[in-house]
Amino acid sequence: MSLSRRILDILIVSLFWGSLCSDICFGVESDIYCLRRIKASLEDPFGYLNSSWNFNNNTEGFICRFTGIECWHPDESKVLNIHLRDMGLKGPFPMGIENCTSLTGLDLSSNKLYGTIPSNISDVVHFVTSLDLSSNNFSGTIPANLSNCSYLNDLLLDHNRLSGQIPPELGLLARIKKFSVSNNLLIGPVPNFGNKDIKADSYANNPGLCGGPLEPCQSHTITG
């Protein structure tokens, strides 16, 4: 009798956890889906993701042992940071990142990513304190929507082919400490970061930036 009672208890407990998980484990499922989408959307010529990102081994927190993945807790598949620097990865910005909903840091630097930075970037990486897209092949304009990534401390977009003007709204990033857009194709006034110490180096090697730590901007009206 007592044995079947125990089995019944275990059954009840596992049913309880099963239904609980269907609620709280949703975020975790989303993070696994995030990494599946990232892997599927990028060319990986050196096989870094192919050899490490194995979705068949479904042990608890298995994605936390993937190359470049750091979780909030090693046994819980909730992604804290993604570091995929210098892996030869090729493709457009991996939109799957929108499903890693607790991400605080993203480093995709020194790869071969191309196309535009998503215009809804703040919906994709809303909580990041660090965003490093430097040394890729991103083109188009810098989205003003980055100004809604209000936790950003570090924003590195240098060594790409970004063009047009830098959105003045970026000056609203209250926590910014490191900012670089050097080595792009940018023109026009740099954002006003108030009393933050953003140096001329951050803007070097662009065809026409002015203001802030650089030369004052010329007036557009031609007089005389």
- Select the residue interacting with ligand NAG from 41, 119, 129, 163 (CB under 6 A): 119
144: how many CB neighbours lie within 10 A of its CB? Answer: 16
- Select the residue interacting with ligand NAG from 62, 72, 127, 151 (CB under 6 A): 62
Residue whose C-beta lies closest to ligand NAG: 120
- Give the DSSP letter string of 90-118: EEE--GGGGG-TT--EEE--SSEEEEPPP
- Select the residue interacting with ligand NAG from 25, 76, 114, 129 (CB under 6 A): 114
User: Which two tokens mark 17?
Assistant: 């956890």
Start-to-end CA span in the chain (Å)? 104
> Minimal CA–CA distance to 133: which of 100, 173, 97, 172?
97
Beta strand 208-210 with 178-180: parallel, antiparallel or unpaired? unpaired
Nearest-approach distance from CB 114 to ligand NAG, in angstroms: 6
Binding-site string for ligand NAG from residue 140 to residue 179, where x marks contact by CB under 6 A and - marks none: ----xx-xx--------------------x--x-------
Is residue 76 close enough to count as binding ligand NAG by CB under 6 A? no
Nearest-approach distance from CB 120 to ligand NAG, in angstroms: 3
Nearest-approach distance from CB 90 to ligand NAG, in angstroms: 8
Rounded Cα distance between 93 and 186, Å, is: 20
